[in-house]
């Protein structure tokens, strides 16, 4: 190759890299991406430039269900213009069948991920209840007593005609058994559906979508979507709803509930976020993934005086344990441990050159971590038998609940031992980090708003009724390398709070909010409309409430249910002036969440793309017909300001239906007033 050719090739290669300033709005990400490129490390951002998505898959109309395919049915201009849609796969499968099958499988995979996590929690919960492990205990007995009746477990017993409290561990064991039974249950319906407002439950019953058992329904989706089975997209989506509801109101909800009992229900606590939480003179460990079971033990291990001493012998001043993705949210909301960043920052944490160990469990873990780790000194440690990584020099330290703390210590020790292998000259930690207040479980919202003596959602309802708060939005979900990192989350959420819509958030979206300063009570004055600002200031809460990880979207369902129960805002979840959005979604879990929100009566917008656009009739089913079934529907919007506009429009429509469009006077309502509103 001539010198010119080499130069041209190098230039072409350069053009194929991501522009660090354009692909994110987060300065720490920009800095580390530039460093990665300078260090010769390719990241997801670069590959998003060189590899384009398949446009047929993006439309949802590529079928790989059998070896006669893949059958690819793009919706072309020619098809649209002709007005005749006679596309079909070899077997005759229509675009509707193909898109619905793919969509249903995404729901199944997403629900399986959340629910398998929930099952793991239930198993450890049961081991703790049976005192088979000393590392986990029943910590939040109040929550246990609260949830026990929902699982059909009595909390008191009659002895000689007198009612007596039962033993906590006895209750816990029965709750553990009942909780775990939800996975293998074959008939009837799962117990937690009864938590929903009665009219919602009746809709599910009438539609026949009450989940019989978590595993059973997921298995049935795999059967129905096999070649040559269910060929009616409406019927497929009925099963999709049945699976998704089993995620939101069972798999995820059980994970949240039992984690709270084991590790404590979150209450507001301070934390810090962004790559700037790492410290050059400390051993840095990141726990990344989703389950708090192991990370809770690493929290304990990293604080162990023996470990701290050991770190000092290696020349470190201490140990920083930070989180990434939803594991981060889990340990943050309970312990205030710092968060290093959200999904698209995982590679970049290693690029700092100061990360001694990246410990992963399950979900949202990019395989490229292994390649990036090879560029630096970072030890990538897998811990779960479900998630091993073949690439790179990954170490597997399997976590076992029976010696959980021991495993935790082994992992921390591995990180400390690696501290001395840092490569001088390749370390650069961005300074960006923000303070935040997190940990708004629905119980905490209840407590915070209702005052010290008696928790209540009534003050929130009053503020919605009197119009200070226009409505409630749930903004959740991932980052997506096909979109500008964090931009849609931030733009949408700022627009919502500016219009007096209070935001409940989880997952990677919550982290965006943290990084940009929206999770502090002080931010209310700066970003909110006057009504919401006044409420936040009076109560001392941020305008955006961080409710936890993605399985904690079940907390949003429960908060919405509490709002209905507090009265004055209708009788069902679909009556509420509320809407949901996942502006930068990417994972199948997001699709499962989207469907359980929709089936729970929520208008839910997804950003970026949605694999339904290649099948107009299927799309219409999700975007329109579902509204008449569930009082909630899907939507797809690219521009975050347009997302906000549609959510607010929906909120206003619901306010009008409740007769709240006129009731602007700021009066305090009593119970009778609220009942009058309900009757209207
Ligand atoms: Ni939710 Fe969490 Fe983030 Fe998306 Fe992944 S971490 S479970 S899936 S990417 S929000
Ligand atoms: Fe093609 Fe039908 Fe096989 Fe799908 S199931 S790949 S549409 S032949």
Residues 307-336 have pLDDT tens digits of 999 999 999 999 999 999 999 999 998 998
Q: Can you tell me the distance from the alpha carbon of 657 to that of 413, in angstroms, rounded to the nearest whole number? A: 60
Which burial class, exposed, middle or buried, applies to 667 when counting CB atoms under 10 A from its CB (0-12, 13-18, 19+)? exposed
pLDDT at res. 666: 45
- Across the range 599-616, mean pLDDT stands at 98
Please tell me whether residue 278 adopts helix, strand or coil conformation: coil
Atom of ligand 1 nearest to the CA of 479: 9
The residue contributing the CA closest to ligand 1 atom 1 is 550
- Across the range 234-243, mean pLDDT stands at 98
pLDDT bracket for residue 672 (50, 70, 90):
low
| 409 pocket-lining for ligand 1 (C-beta < 6 Å) | no
46 or 661, which is more confident: 46
The H or E element spanning position 171 is: helix 168-184
> Is 637's pLDDT higher than 80?
yes
Atom of ligand 2 nearest to the CA of 227: 5
Residues 6+ apart with CB under 8 A from 168: 138, 141, 144
Atom of ligand 1 nearest to the CA of 342: 3
Reading the block at residue 176, the tokens are 């553990």
Q: How many DSSP H helices and E strands does the chain contain?
A: 30, 18
Per-residue CA distances from 28 to 17, 35, 342, 367, 598 (Å): 18, 11, 12, 22, 35
pLDDT at res. 634: 98
Atom of ligand 1 nearest to the CA of 477: 10
For the ranges 115-129, 365-379, 488-502, 649-663, the lowest mean pLDDT is seen at 649-663
**How far, in Å, from the CA of 478 to the mean position of ligand 1?**
5
Q: What is the pLDDT of residues 5-31, one digit of tens each?
A: 877 777 776 678 999 999 999 999 999
Q: What is the pLDDT of residues 122-141, one digit of tens each?
A: 999 999 999 999 899 999 99
pLDDT at res. 2: 79
> Is 1's pLDDT higher than 80?
no
For the ranges 248-252, 451-455, 528-532, the lowest mean pLDDT is seen at 451-455
pLDDT at res. 218: 98
Q: Which DSSP symbol is given to 399?
A: -
| 477 pocket-lining for ligand 1 (C-beta < 6 Å) | yes
- Across the range 271-298, mean pLDDT stands at 96
| 550 pocket-lining for ligand 1 (C-beta < 6 Å) | yes
> Is 515's pLDDT higher than 50?
yes
For the ranges 19-33, 66-80, 102-116, 393-407, the lowest mean pLDDT is seen at 393-407
> Is 248's pLDDT higher than 50?
yes
- Residue 238: count of CB within 10 angstroms of its CB: 19
**How far, in Å, from the CA of 56 to the mean position of ligand 2?**
15
Q: What is the pLDDT of residues 88-107, one digit of tens each?
A: 999 999 999 999 999 999 99
- Across the range 581-590, mean pLDDT stands at 98
pLDDT at res. 663: 52
Reading the block at residue 572, the tokens are 């069902």
Residues pairing with 357 in the sheet: 285, 379
Peptide bond into 25 cis (omega under 30): no
Q: Can you tell me the distance from the alpha carbon of 107 to that of 94, in angstroms, rounded to the nearest whole number? A: 20
Q: What percent of the chain has pLDDT over 70?
A: 96
Q: Can you tell me the distance from the alpha carbon of 249 to that of 322, in angstroms, rounded to the nearest whole number? A: 30
For the chain, the average pLDDT equals 95
Q: CA angle, corner 450, sides to 542 and 254, nearest 5?
A: 80
**How far, in Å, from the CA of 240 to the mean position of ligand 2?**
20
The H or E element spanning position 395 is: strand 395-396
For the ranges 391-405, 448-462, 638-652, the lowest mean pLDDT is seen at 448-462
Closest of 489, 505, 466, 503 to residue 608, by C-alpha: 489
Dihedral (Cα; 549, 554, 557, 561), 10-degree rounding: -120
Q: Walk me through the domains of the chain, giving residue ranges and CATH numbers.
A: 95-157+164-263 (1.20.1270.30), 275-421 (3.40.50.2030), 435-657 (3.40.50.2030)
pLDDT at res. 4: 82
The residue contributing the CA closest to ligand 1 atom 9 is 478
Q: Can you tell me the distance from the alpha carbon of 238 to that of 236, in angstroms, rounded to the nearest whole number? A: 5
- Across the range 103-128, mean pLDDT stands at 97
The residue contributing the CA closest to ligand 1 atom 4 is 478
pLDDT bracket for residue 451 (50, 70, 90):
low
């Amino acid at each position: 190759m001539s010198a010119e050719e080499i130069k041209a090739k190098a230039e072409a290669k350069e053009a194929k890299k991501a522009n660090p300033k354009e692909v994110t709005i987060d300065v720490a990400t920009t800095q580390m991406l530039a460093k990665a490129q300078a260090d010769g490390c390719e990241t997801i951002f670069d590959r998003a430039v060189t590899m384009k998505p398949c446009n047929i898959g993006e439309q949802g109309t590529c079928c790989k269900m059998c070896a006669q395919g893949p059958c690819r049915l793009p919706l072309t201009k020619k098809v649209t213009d002709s007005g005749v849609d006679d596309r079909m796969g070899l077997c005759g499968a229509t675009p509707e069948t193909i898109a619905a099958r793919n969509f249903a499988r995404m729901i199944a995979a997403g629900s399986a991920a959340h629910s398998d996590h929930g099952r793991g929690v239930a198993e450890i919960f049961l081991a703790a209840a049976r005192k088979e492990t000393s590392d986990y205990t029943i910590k939040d007995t109040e929550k246990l007593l609260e949830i026990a009746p929902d699982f059909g477990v009595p909390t008191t017993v009659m002895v000689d005609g007198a009612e007596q409290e039962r033993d906590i561990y006895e209750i816990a064991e029965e709750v553990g058994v009942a909780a775990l039974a939800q996975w293998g249950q074959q008939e009837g319906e799962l117990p937690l559906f009864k938590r929903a407002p009665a009219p919602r439950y009746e809709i599910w019953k009438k539609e026949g979508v009450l989940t019989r058992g978590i595993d059973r329904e997921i298995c049935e989706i795999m059967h129905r979507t096999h070649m040559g089975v269910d060929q009616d997209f409406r019927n497929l989506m009925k099963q999709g709803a049945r699976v998704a509801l089993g995620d939101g109101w069972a798999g995820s909800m059980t994970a949240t509930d039992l984690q709270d009992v084991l590790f404590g229900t979150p209450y507001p606590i301070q934390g810090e976020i962004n790559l700037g939480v790492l410290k050059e003179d400390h051993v840095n460990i990141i726990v990344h993934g989703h389950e708090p079971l192991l990370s809770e033990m690493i929290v304990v291990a990293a604080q162990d005086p023996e470990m701290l001493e050991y770190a000092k012998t290696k020349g470190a001043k201490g140990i920083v344990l930070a989180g990434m993705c939803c594991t981060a949210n889990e340990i943050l909301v309970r312990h205030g441990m710092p968060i290093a960043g959200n999904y698209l920052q995982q590679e970049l944490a290693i690029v700092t050159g100061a990360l001694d160990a990246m410990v992963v469990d399950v979900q949202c873990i990019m395989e490229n971590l292994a390649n990036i780790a090879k560029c630096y000194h970072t030890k990538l440690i897998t811990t779960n038998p479900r998630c091993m990584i073949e690439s790179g020099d990954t170490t597997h330290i399997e976590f076992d609940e029976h010696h959980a703390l021991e495993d935790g210590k082994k992992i921390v020790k591995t990180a400390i031992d690696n501290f001395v292998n840092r490569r001088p000259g390749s370390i650069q930690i961005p300074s960006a980090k923000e303070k935040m207040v997190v940990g708004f479980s629905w119980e905490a919202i209840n407590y915070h708003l209702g005052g010290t003596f008696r928790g209540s959602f009534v003050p929130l309802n009053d503020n919605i009724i009197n119009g200070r708060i226009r409505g409630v939005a749930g903004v959740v979900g991932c980052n997506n390398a096909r979109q500008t990192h964090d931009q849609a989350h931030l733009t949408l959420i700022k627009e919502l709070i500016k219009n007096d819509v209070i935001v409940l958030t989880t997952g990677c979206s919550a982290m965006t909010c943290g990084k940009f300063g929206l999770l502090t009570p002080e931010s209310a004055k700066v970003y909110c409309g006057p009504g919401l600002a006044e409420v936040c200031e009076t109560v001392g809460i941020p305008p955006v409430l961080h409710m936890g990880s993605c399985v904690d979207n079940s907390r949003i369902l429960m908060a919405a249910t509490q709002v209905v129960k507090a009265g004055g805002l209708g009788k069902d979840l679909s009556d509420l002036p509320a809407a949901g959005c996942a502006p930068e979604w990417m994972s199948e879990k997001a699709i499962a969440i989207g469907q359980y929100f929709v089936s729970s009566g929520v208008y839910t917008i997804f950003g970026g793309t949605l694999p339904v656009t290649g099948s107009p009739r299927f799309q219409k089913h999700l975007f329109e017909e579902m509204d008449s079934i569930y009082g909630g529907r899907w939507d797809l919007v690219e521009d975050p300001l347009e997302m906000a506009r549609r959510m607010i429009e929906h909120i206003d429509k619901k306010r009008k239906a409740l007769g709240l469009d006129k009731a602007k006077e700021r009066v305090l309502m009593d119970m009778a007033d609220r009942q009058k509103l309900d009757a209207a």
